[in-house]
Every structure is written in structure tokens, then in C-alpha cells.
Amino acid sequence: MKKIYLSLLAVTLAFLSVTLTSCSNDDDSTPVNEQPTANVEGKWYYSKMGVSFMGQEQLQNYQHEAGCTKDNVELVSGGVFKDRDYSGSECSLDELTGTWSKTGNNVTVNIEGMAETWEIVSMTSSELKVRSPFTMEGQTYYDVTVFTKN
């Protein structure tokens, strides 16, 4: 499923770069909740994924494999991180395990020596929206992911 997301991300980036290059000097420095009150620990299911550029967000519903457990991440007490992806007719599980920590409004995930920091955009007891910056052709974009809890 994440491979499909990467394809959608490439198409979205192409769309955004064409449609937004003439926009004003907007940026993505919109303030976020400084101290979310909900607990970030728990199992979070992928809900939407996309990209943000110059204040414009393009999100797509996350496509879970039909008949399988929903893909999810789990932020376990004590700093254990798990990312689970179910695929194929057999619902094969691909699980990555690492560590996580939260400092202020950021969650840093470390898997196999690769660290990624998620900035919390918004958070309630049932929804978590995060973003992480990346640069392409000198422009800063943000990967945006929305998770939900059941």
C-alpha cells in the first residue's frame, strides 16, 4: 500500500509544483498546537496521506488491503515503535520495529538507524495529524499523514 502512496505522492507533487509556482510567498509555518493534550501513545491506523506545499494540502484516503487488518503504527510506552503493513491475499505482515520519543510538539521515530521527526499538526484522543519536511528542487514540502484510533 505504501508503494501506491509513493506513486500518488509523485503525481501530487507534480500537480502542486505546476499549480502553485506562481502563488504568493505563503509558507507552511502555520502555528500548530503547542502542547497537545491527548496522549500520543497507542495504536494509530493510517487514515489519509499526502503532501503540503505553500500552505496547500493534498490528502488522499489511505487504501488498506481489503480483508486484512488495517495498516497501523504503534507508539508503545517505553519508547518502542512498530509500523505494520498488511498486503496480498494472504494479508502478509511486514512489521518494522524501532524506537520513538516525544519532545514538545515533535515525535522522533528511529528505525534501523534512520530517524524521522514528525511535527504534530493537530491531535485529539481519536485523530493524530503529523507532517515531516523534505526538500525537492530547492523547495520545502511536507509529507502529511493523518492517523485515527478506534
CB atoms inside a 10 Å sphere around CB 108: 14
Tell me the CA distances in angstroms from 77 to 39, 81, 94, 100, one per residue in order: 11, 9, 21, 9
Give the model's pLDDT for residue 35: 45
Q: What is the mean pLDDT of the chain?
A: 83
- φ and ψ at 126, to 5 degrees? -120, -5
Tens-place pLDDT, residues 24-47 = 444 444 444 444 457 999 999 999
Whole-model pTM: value is 0.77
Tens-place pLDDT, residues 56-98 = 999 999 999 999 999 999 999 999 999 999 999 999 999 999 9
Given a cut of 90, whether residue 13 has pLDDT beyond it is no
CATH no., domain 2-148: 2.40.128.280
Give the model's pLDDT for residue 29: 45
Give the model's pLDDT for residue 58: 97
Q: What percent of the chain has pLDDT over 70?
A: 75
Give the model's pLDDT for residue 90: 96
Give the model's pLDDT for residue 30: 43
Reported as type and span, the H/E element at residue 72 is strand 72-76
Nearest-angstrom CA–CA distance, 133 and 86: 26
Given a cut of 70, whether residue 142 has pLDDT beyond it is yes
Give the model's pLDDT for residue 131: 98
Give the model's pLDDT for residue 150: 82
Give the model's pLDDT for residue 37: 53
Given a cut of 80, whether residue 113 has pLDDT beyond it is yes
**Which sign, positive or negative, has the C-alpha torsion 20, 133, 32, 64?**
positive
Among residues 54, 31, 21, 60, the alpha carbon closest in space to that of 141 is found at 54
